Structure 1
């Protein structure tokens, strides 16, 4: 039984780790798009207010994307803990079953306000906030020049 559980958890870990890495790649793509779009609006079209708004929206989108990654990361940690337990570290606690990502996500889901707060929390992490904050500052500078 433990070998079957371990195999299931290992397969889940491989899938989730791959998804976690993909989220990171797409977050970098979101950042690059924000740089291009904001700079185009500021310097090519000479707009001032719209780039500020667009940049903020893209930043929040990056925060939403990173929220999905964080949830995947939370599940990865649970799977790693379960694999560790099954490999002999501690079998006394209740085992964590593999292939339960969506159930675990649903059971930890908060309401609308909680979800928005989670998005904002992810958006404020330094690795997410960069380069969005710099672009917003650039937009503000361009507005007042």
Structure 2
């Protein structure tokens, strides 16, 4: 069964899911651009304030993208709820299950801190901070 053969709600779910994944890809591109920009400010011997401002701007841009992504996640969980109510859910309620398993504020902060220590997350930011402090 391809996308065109799916019910409109299922096609909408797939489109929302694809969009959410694309926002995640763009967040990675923003991180890589921040890294490249940081390196370039050091190569051209620009003042540290430029590096900090550039990193802050990229951080803000990623926050904007993540806000858009969060709105799409809200839309997809609402759609999953509608499909579940109408007994038409043929797709796993991925986002609804994720929301249901999400902890409270302190648990979420602890989870974020734990995630921030993973090498794939820490890699772009920790070296940029260290370089900025010692350059």
TM-score bracket for the superposition, by shorter chain length: 0.5 to 0.7
User: Distance between the aligned counterparts of 2:128 and 2:9, measured in 1?
Assistant: 42
User: Distance between the aligned counterparts of 2:79 and 2:56, measured in 1?
Assistant: 35
User: Distance between the aligned counterparts of 1:37 and 1:74, measured in 2?
Assistant: 33
What's the counterpart of residue 134 of structure 2?
Answer: 141
User: Distance between the aligned counterparts of 1:65 and 1:134, measured in 2?
Assistant: 23
RMSD of the TM alignment (CA)?
Answer: 2.6
TM-score, with structure 2 as normaliser: 0.64
- Number of residues paired by the alignment? 101
What's the counterpart of residue 3 of structure 1?
Answer: none
Q: Does 1:45 align with 2:38?
A: no
Where do residues 2-81 of structure 1 align in structure 2 (5 Å cutoff)?
7-42=7-42, 44-47=43-46, 48-81=48-81
More relative contact order, 1 or 2 (CA 8 Å, 6+ apart): 1
Ranges in structure 2 where 5+ consecutive residues have no aligned partner: 1-5, 90-112
TM-score, with structure 1 as normaliser: 0.60
Ranges in structure 1 where 5+ consecutive residues have no aligned partner: 1-5, 90-123
